[in-house]
Structure 1
Amino acid sequence: MGFGKSMTVSEMIGQFIKPEAPIYVKAFDGSTFGEPSADLRVRVVRPDAVYQLLTQPNEIGAVRAYVLGDIDFDGIDYADPYPQMRQLLAIAPYVKPIRPLAVAKVASGVFSHGLRRPPVPATEGPSKFDRIKRGLLPHTEKADSQTVSFHYDMSNEFYADFLGPSMTYTCAVFDDPSMSLEDAQANKLRLILDKLGLEPGQRLLDIGCGWGSMVITAARRGIKALGVTLSKEQAEYANEWIAREGLSDLAEVRVQDYREVPESDFDGICSIGMMEHVGVKNYQRYFEEMFRLLKPMGRLLNHQITISHDKPNGKPGTDEFLDRYIFPDGDLGTPGFIESCIHDAGFNVVHQENLRQHYALTLHHWNRNLSEHWDDAVKQVGFERAKVWGLYMAACSLNFELDGIQIHQFLAVRPDRVGHPMGDWYPLRPWWKA
C-alpha cells in the first residue's frame, strides 16, 4: 500500500530528487523511481523508513532507517558500504531545493495514516542533551569514563576482527598504497618514537594508550613506558600482552585519567588518537598538563584527527551520528587552533604534518578486515552494532578523501629556559626518516 490515495513512495521521492538522478528505488508499495539500469539500487523495505525520515529529517533518520533495515541496497556489504556511499555522493547535483509545499504534501500523505513513532536502534546512545540531564557534563572525569567505556569496552575480539594483530586503533603510515596494514602500523609507531628521539632508559608516557602497541614498541627499545587508558578491557589486554612479551620491568598500563598521573619529569609524552575525546574547550588545559608532566627539553608528540575548516555555527562536537553511535562527546579542532594551544601552553612547536590520505587507506583496510571476519564480529557485538561500525568506518574514509577531516602530528619541545629553547639536544634539521 502507499501513503495516501494519491501519493506513492516514488512520488514522494520525486518531490526531492530529479528523475534523471543515477539511482533506482523500489519501494514496499510496489512503486519505483529512476532508471532500473542505475548502479545504485535502493530498496525502501518498510513504511518505517518514511516515518524515520519525516520524524528525524537529518542523518539520524537516515541512519536509523539503514541500521534497522527499513532501507537497504542491492549488492551491499554491510562491513564495507563505501561503494554505495560514493554512489550516493553522485546524487547530490540532482537534489531539488527544499520547498515547504513539497514537505507539507509528503507529510500530509504520510500522517493521514496516523502519527507513528518509529523504533530506535538498540545501539543508539542518548543525545548530548539527555546525557547532560543525567548529570554527565561533557569532558568531566565521570562523563569521560562512561563515554570511553561506551566506545571501547565492547569486545577486544571485535576490535581484533578489523584492527588486525597490531591492535593499533589509529592512522597507519604507508610508504606506498600497496604496503600491508601491519607494516604501515609498525611504520607509524616507529615514526612517532623516532620523532620523540628517546633513548633506552628514558621515560615515556602514552596518554590514551589503547591496547598497548606503542607502550610495547617503546619497551622493546629499552624505553620505560607507562600507558594510561580509561578502558578496563584495554588495560587488561595490554598488561597481558606486556607479560607475554617479558616486558613487565619496562612497561605498564593503568586504568587512570591523564589528569591523575602522579609521576612527572617524563622525557617524552605521546597522545595518539586521544585528543578527539578531550573537547576543544579543554585543549589549552590539556597541553598545559602535558607541559607540567614533561621535564625541560622533554618532547610531546600529539597525533589527532582535525577538521579542515571551522564549523559554520562555531559550536564544538562531532555530528549526531558519531555522537550517538560511536564517540559520545567527540570533538575536533582545526590544525591552526591546536598548534596555537600547544604554543600558548609554553611549548616550541618544531614540526607538524598532515597524514590525511594515510587515514583513508587505513580505514579501507579496516573495512576489508571487518568484511573478512564478519561472522565473528556479529557474534561479538551483534548484527546491528557491527553494521553501524561498517557504516562509521566507510563514512570516515570518504570524509578523509573529501578533505572534510584530516589527521595531524605535532611535535613540540618543552624549552629548558626562556631565550634558549633548544639546548644541545635539538638538531638543526629533522632527524627522523619520513
Structure 2
Amino acid sequence: MTQLATARWPGIAHTPRTPVKARAAKAILRPTVNSVPVRLTFADGTRWGAGGPQAPEMQVVRPKAFFSRLGADTKIGFGEAYMAGDWTTGEGTDLADLLAPFAERLTTIVPESLQRFRVFVDKKLPHAHRNSVEGSKKNIEAHYDLSNDLFAQFLDPSMSYSAAWFESAEQDLESAQLRKIDGILDQAGVTEGSRVLEIGSGWGALAIRAAQRGAKVTTITISNEQAALAEQRFAEAGVDVDLQLVDYRDVTGQYDAIVSVEMIEAVGEEYWPTYFATIDRLLAPGGKVSIQAITMEHHRYLKTRNSFGWIQKYIFPGGLIPSLTAIDQTLAAHTSLAVSDRRSLGQDYARTLHEWRDSFNRNWETINAQGFDETFRRMWEFYLAYCEAGFRVGYIDVYQLQMQRPQEA
C-alpha cells in the first residue's frame, strides 16, 4: 500500500492479526464453499468448491490476509479482502456471477448449529450513523457528495441513481429510467396543476419530468452537490422547479402528490414513523403518494435490522433496508395512509446495476484522473456487483408503492 492509500484506507492497509479467528474462518468456509457451485482456487493449486470447470472462479491471492480479515469480521471482512486485493475473480468470471450463488444461499450458508452465535459476530450500528437532522446530512454527504463528475461517468444522461423499469431487452437505460419516473408520477396521479413534493431530489430528473407535465413542483434535498447540478439541469430544461435545501422533517405546506425514490433506505428505522407521519401531514385531502423502496423479506429484516455490515461501513452510512411488512406496520401505527398498489422492479434493478458497473469500468481512467484510487475502484466494483447479485437472486427487491388514505381511495 502507498502512503496515500494507508492514510485514506486504514482498515484496508493494515491486515488484522487474528490467528485463532483466521483458522476458525478457514474451517467454516471450506465445507460451506464445497456446497456452492463456484471454484475457490489458491496459488498452491488447492481447490475448493462444488463447481465444475465452467463455474465462477474466486482466486485467493493472499490466503493468510484473506482468512485474517474474514475471521476478524465475518460480515465486513469479505468485502474488505476484495478491496485489498486479497482475492479476485478468475479469468472470464464476472464478479456478480461469482457472488450470486452466495447471495442465493445467504440465509443457509452458515450451518444452523453456528447461527446461534450470530449475536457475538454482529456489530451494532454506530451511534454516529443515526439519522438525526445533523446525522442525516453527514450520512448523505458521505455518499452523494463524493463528486457529481464521478456519478456522471456511470449513470445515464438522466442522472437517475435508482432502479430503471425496462419495457424490453432492447430498451436503453435512459428511456427505461424515464419509464420508471413516469410510473412513479402516474401512481401519484401527477397531472397539470398538481402540487407535487419530491423528497430526495437526486440530480433533478423526476422534478423535470413532473414539471413538464405542468405540475407545480417542490423538491427537497440535503446534498449541496446534488442541488447545484439539479438547479443547472432545471435551467437547461427550461422548467420552473422550487428546489429547497431542507430536511424532510422541516417541510411545510399541502401537496396533492408526494413522491420519493429510494429515500426510505437512508431514513433509518428509528425515523420511519417520523418520515411517514410527515408525508401524511403534508398530503392534501384526496392526495396520493408513490415511493420507490428497496426491500427484503421480513424475517431477514428482523435478523439484520441492528447489525453493521460492509455496505453501511463503506457505501451508505446509516442505511437500512425495510420489509414490506415493516412499511405496512409503520403506516398503520403512525399515519392514516395504507399501501394501495405496488409493482416489483427487482430484476430491472439487477440489469440497471450491471449497466452501471459496465460504464464504471469502461470509464475508469477518467474516474481515476478525478482523484479516485484503485482501492476505491475495487470498493465500487464490489458494491455494484454485490447489489446486482442480491437483486438477481431475489435476496432483495425494489417496489414502487402507491399510498393513500383508504377512505379516500
TM-score (norm 2): 0.81
CA contact (8 A) 1:277 1:329 kept: yes
Q: In the alignment, which residue of structure 2 is the partner of 1:258?
A: 248
* Pairing 1:271-350 to 2, within 5 Å after superposition: 271-311=260-300, 314=303, 316-317=305-306, 320-344=309-333, 345-350=335-340
Shift of residue 341, structure 1, vs aligned partner: 2.6
Q: Which amino acid aligns with 1:406?
A: D
1:74 pairs with one of 90, 107, 110: 90
Give yes or no for the alignment of 1:366 onto 2:383.
no
Q: In the alignment, which residue of structure 2 is the partner of 1:354?
A: 344
Give yes or no for the alignment of 1:63 onto 2:79.
yes
What secondary structure is seen at the aligned counterpart in 2 of 1:310? Answer: helix
Give yes or no for the alignment of 1:85 onto 2:99.
yes
Shift of residue 160, structure 1, vs aligned partner: 1.5
Give yes or no for the alignment of 1:33 onto 2:47.
yes
Give yes or no for the alignment of 1:396 onto 2:387.
yes
Which moves more between the two structures, 154-163 or 364-373?
364-373
CA pair 351-343 structure 1, distance change in 2 beyond 3 A: farther
CA contact (8 A) 1:40 1:87 kept: no
Give yes or no for the alignment of 1:138 onto 2:130.
yes
Q: Deviations over 1:137-177 (max 9, x none)?
A: 61211111111111111111111222111111111111123
CA contact (8 A) 2:100 2:389 kept: yes
CA contact (8 A) 2:350 2:391 kept: yes
**Counterparts of 2:141 and 2:173, CA distance in 1:** 26
**Counterparts of 2:375 and 2:198, CA distance in 1:** 33
**Counterparts of 1:54 and 1:337, CA distance in 2:** 32
Q: Which amino acid aligns with 2:142?
A: F
How high is the sequence identity, in percent, across the aligned residues? 29
Q: Deviations over 1:285-317 (max 9, x none)?
A: 211111111211121112101112323754525
Q: Which amino acid aligns with 1:63?
A: G
1:50 pairs with one of 67, 76, 98: 67
**Counterparts of 1:81 and 1:91, CA distance in 2:** 16
**Counterparts of 1:138 and 1:320, CA distance in 2:** 15
Q: Which amino acid aligns with 1:256?
A: V
**Counterparts of 1:301 and 1:324, CA distance in 2:** 29
Shift of residue 199, structure 1, vs aligned partner: 2.6
Shift of residue 213, structure 1, vs aligned partner: 0.6
CA pair 405-319 structure 1, distance change in 2 beyond 3 A: farther
What secondary structure is seen at the aligned counterpart in 1 of 2:299? Answer: coil
Q: Deviations over 1:232-280 (max 9, x none)?
A: 1000010011112222xx203222101112x311111101100001122
CA pair 364-42 structure 1, distance change in 2 beyond 3 A: closer
Q: Which amino acid aligns with 1:82?
A: A
Shift of residue 39, structure 1, vs aligned partner: 4.3
Give yes or no for the alignment of 1:219 onto 2:211.
yes
Q: Which amino acid aligns with 2:72?
A: T
Q: In the alignment, which residue of structure 2 is the partner of 1:410?
A: 401
Shift of residue 343, structure 1, vs aligned partner: 4.1
Select the structure that is richer in helix.
2
Q: In the alignment, which residue of structure 2 is the partner of 1:152?
A: 144
Shift of residue 367, structure 1, vs aligned partner: 1.7
Q: Which amino acid aligns with 1:179?
A: Q
Report how many residues are paired: 375
What secondary structure is seen at the aligned counterpart in 1 of 2:182? Answer: helix
What secondary structure is seen at the aligned counterpart in 2 of 1:162? Answer: coil
TM-score (norm 1): 0.76
Residue segments in structure 2 that go unaligned for 5+ positions in a row? 1-18, 115-122
Give yes or no for the alignment of 1:199 onto 2:191.
yes
**Counterparts of 1:212 and 1:388, CA distance in 2:** 27
CA pair 168-128 structure 1, distance change in 2 beyond 3 A: farther
CA pair 376-202 structure 1, distance change in 2 beyond 3 A: same
Shift of residue 348, structure 1, vs aligned partner: 4.5
CA contact (8 A) 1:310 1:333 kept: no
Q: Find the structure with the greater CA-based Rg.
A: 1
**Counterparts of 2:27 and 2:188, CA distance in 1:** 60
CA pair 33-240 structure 1, distance change in 2 beyond 3 A: same
Residue segments in structure 1 that go unaligned for 5+ positions in a row? 101-126, 416-420, 427-434
**Counterparts of 2:319 and 2:36, CA distance in 1:** 38
Shift of residue 339, structure 1, vs aligned partner: 2.5
CA pair 152-23 structure 1, distance change in 2 beyond 3 A: same
Q: Deviations over 1:35-79 (max 9, x none)?
A: 9956444433334223223323x13222121101122222268xx
